[in-house]
């Protein structure tokens, strides 16, 4: 797999994630790629099956699969991108 494909997947993850999210699904990554294909020229030209395979491969190498942590219903298409503690901003902390 080319490094360009890997960079596009990671870029799509960072573009699709919301500030307080701790998880991201393959569907949300796919939606980001479909919404802005000009930013992801390698991925947007792939077939849906090919794109999904690439996303899953890159994500499995980069992030922990949610079902291997504390999932209520296991899913191999959802990844933990940060811990719950990391998702809170400094402004969310209680001030003395």
Which tens digits make up the pLDDT trace of 1-52?
A: 789 999 999 999 999 998 888 899 999 999 999 999 999 999 999 999 999 9
Confidence at residue 84, expressed as pLDDT on a 0 to 100 scale: 58
Could you tell me whether strands 78-80 and 23-25 are parallel, antiparallel, or unpaired per DSSP bridges? antiparallel
Confidence at residue 86, expressed as pLDDT on a 0 to 100 scale: 60
Domain positions in the chain? 3-83
Query: The pTM is what?
Result: 0.76
Confidence at residue 70, expressed as pLDDT on a 0 to 100 scale: 56
Q: pLDDT higher for 8 or 93?
A: 8
Q: Check: CB of residue 36 under 8 Å from CB of residue 88.
A: no
Question: 87 pLDDT exceeds 70?
Answer: no
């Amino acid at each position: 797999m080319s490094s360009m494909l890997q960079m596009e997947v990671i870029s799509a993850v960072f573009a699709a994630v919301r500030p307080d999210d701790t998880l991201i699904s393959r569907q949300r990554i796919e939606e980001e790629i479909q919404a802005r294909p000009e930013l992801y020229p390698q991925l947007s030209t792939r077939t849906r099956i090919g794109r999904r395979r690439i996303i899953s491969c890159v994500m499995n190498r980069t992030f922990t699969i949610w079902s291997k942590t504390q999932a209520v219903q296991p899913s191999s298409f959802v990844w933990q991108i940060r811990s719950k503690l990391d998702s809170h901003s400094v402004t969310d902390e209680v001030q003395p």
